[in-house]
Structure 1
Amino acid sequence: MITVEEVRNENQKREFLEFPPRLYKHDKNYIRPLDKDIEAIFNPLKNKFFKTGECERFLFKNKKNKTLGKVAVFINENYPQKQPTGGIGFFDCIDDQETANFIFDHCKKWLQQKGMEAMDGPINFGERDKFWGLVTEGFTEPLYGMNYNFPYYKDLFENYGFKIYFEQLCFSRPIFAEVSRIFTIMHAKHSKNPSISAKPMTKKHLEKFAADFTEIYNKAWESHGEGKCMDETKILKMFKIMKPIINEHISWFVYENEKPIAMWMNIPDTNQWFKYLNGKFGIWEKLKFLWVKKFKKNEKMVGLVFGVVPEWQKKGLEGYMIWEGTQHLRKHTYFKVTEMQWIGDFNPKMIKIAENLDTTVTRKLATYRYLFDRNKKFERHPVL
């Protein structure tokens, strides 16, 4: 018999955080997320999505009061779909299909009572850049903010009836791998142009780089027809938050007569430091973080954004920028691999850009969907 507890009191909140580390204690690739990051998602004062949605957390226990699984279930008006669709996330479960089915049934009933006709998972009660998707290939250490799970989770979802709504592809390449010949050719070509220059991002000039980032981003993404515009004030605020972890050798901007025309933004993978903190980030852990950051080599960096303004696209400028930056960071950093944040398989334009950067898919996640009406035709995410 399985009992259900809605997460309300401090003991239940603590168990929601402590169950995964016990479950994964023998998995060398598991990195515990920071408790504060998880708790912020379920705090209405910190998560703006509570203004337009609802979210509850549940623990599932056996008759001996031992936790067997956990989940969060939510609805979000900012997640419009063809049919009203809710979400489940932060799912963890023992390797038992009956237990997983019990959890999924509980989520289904909760969502049906809210008028939903389908559920997606595992997803975040928030933006897609964190805690989104189920790992199906590449069970290596997760990047900061990325989900991680046992391989058997795939069977738990699919045996219940979930189907892949879209796949999330993570592209990567070794820093010291041979660079495409076309990159070096384009580098040689553009290096001869005195109006073209490349500069690494520095902490002293965050205001300038925030302005340059905004200009490049808005022009580049406008050409992709996605209508995504970013505000310079918000970009500067984000840069200032990132300042303690910015590495001045790995983010690059290209200019034509000092006008920004391309960028390649990377940061260190902070999970390579956070993995020593066991999910905590109090005063002692902050001091330990500073020590680890100073003395432990971080060999993995994360690609955040790559962009070229429309008038310079398809002219090999990315080859110039990649080789210019790569030569520099090989000399001045310990990084051995770079991995990009995931790209949905519904976005062929961005996938093509990633492939053109001489990368390969090294990790896959999946966003699953379950239609409550089992006779309704299942459709995958539309292609952009």
Structure 2
Amino acid sequence: MRHEVDWLYGINMTRALTLSIKKAAGWFKIVSTGRVQGPSLSYVAQREKEINLFVPLPYWMIQVVAHHNKEELELEYFKKRIPTMSDGKAIVESLSGRTAIVDKISKRAVTQQPHPPFNLSSLQSEAYRHMGYTPSRTLALAQSLYLNSAISYPRTSSEQLPDTLDFKTILTGLSSMKDYATMAKTILKGPIKPIQGKKTDPAHPAIHPTGEKPAKKLTPSEKKLYDLIVRRFFSVFGDSLVKDHLRADIVCENHKLYTRGLQIQKMGWAEYYGPFFKTQEKALPDIKEGDSIHLTSVGAEEKHTLPPARFNPASLLKLLERENLGTKSTRSRIVDSVKSRGYTIGDNFELSTLG
């Protein structure tokens, strides 16, 4: 019934739009729409309107370079945005060439659990973020991997791996593959219990490798996506990542400055997620409370507020899922159609004249 309604809505509205443009503009082009495609383009158009109406406002950022025992430090001012140039100049004059004092050094431990297993939407988002694959390309590659017996059925909303799955057999199969042997064997030594997400799908579990060697040799693109899926699967069995957020608060009369650092105490699940885990340790400078720091360079850089970002394939896909528009199988095709039919320009979905 729903498919029939979608077809009737789409074909009639497409004809109406096409004839309207022909009558108004004097030229012919098929202008398609549909029950999901129409709202999708509407979101893009609304964002374009917000961008066009946006008026950038100037602000100033205070930039401070300091030295302590020949070590250079980059410090941040406690106010991210200074509203006027005169205020910025006043702060620069107050700090230039002065000596500041380290007031407090603090450490905050943060524990980060593994990400849940992939469903189709989260796989498409990660593949776009790390590899630039569009949602439809990711779905096509995942479907190919599925038909090649390498992964489970990809069209799923679930973020859960049921206990009925034989994790030990899957991990043993992956341990026979050169690229994954060490990681799989490590996981097999411990308790094999994956973290679970919130979303479920009564028909299919979360996306996971089967543990079987692909029936046919993978293409380079398939291999990259397969690696992402395998590493995400490994990571759900990992321990939590533990990191310390470090901060040194520095004062110069009534002005407050600070510098921050990050230390990873335990990699946990991120050790398996490898190239898809993006973070960088930053050591805190070798300073202690009460130390004097010389402010050697102080400046105020003019910046401007930025308009809302345009959609990209991953962010538009996520919006459609959140608004419950389309299905897990059709959303990527809808996202592609907004661009392929000339309604937007470029990967960042800039609205075209036709759109």
- TM-score with structure 2 length normalisation? 0.23
- Larger RCO (CA under 8 A, 6+ residues apart): 2
- TM-score with structure 1 length normalisation? 0.22
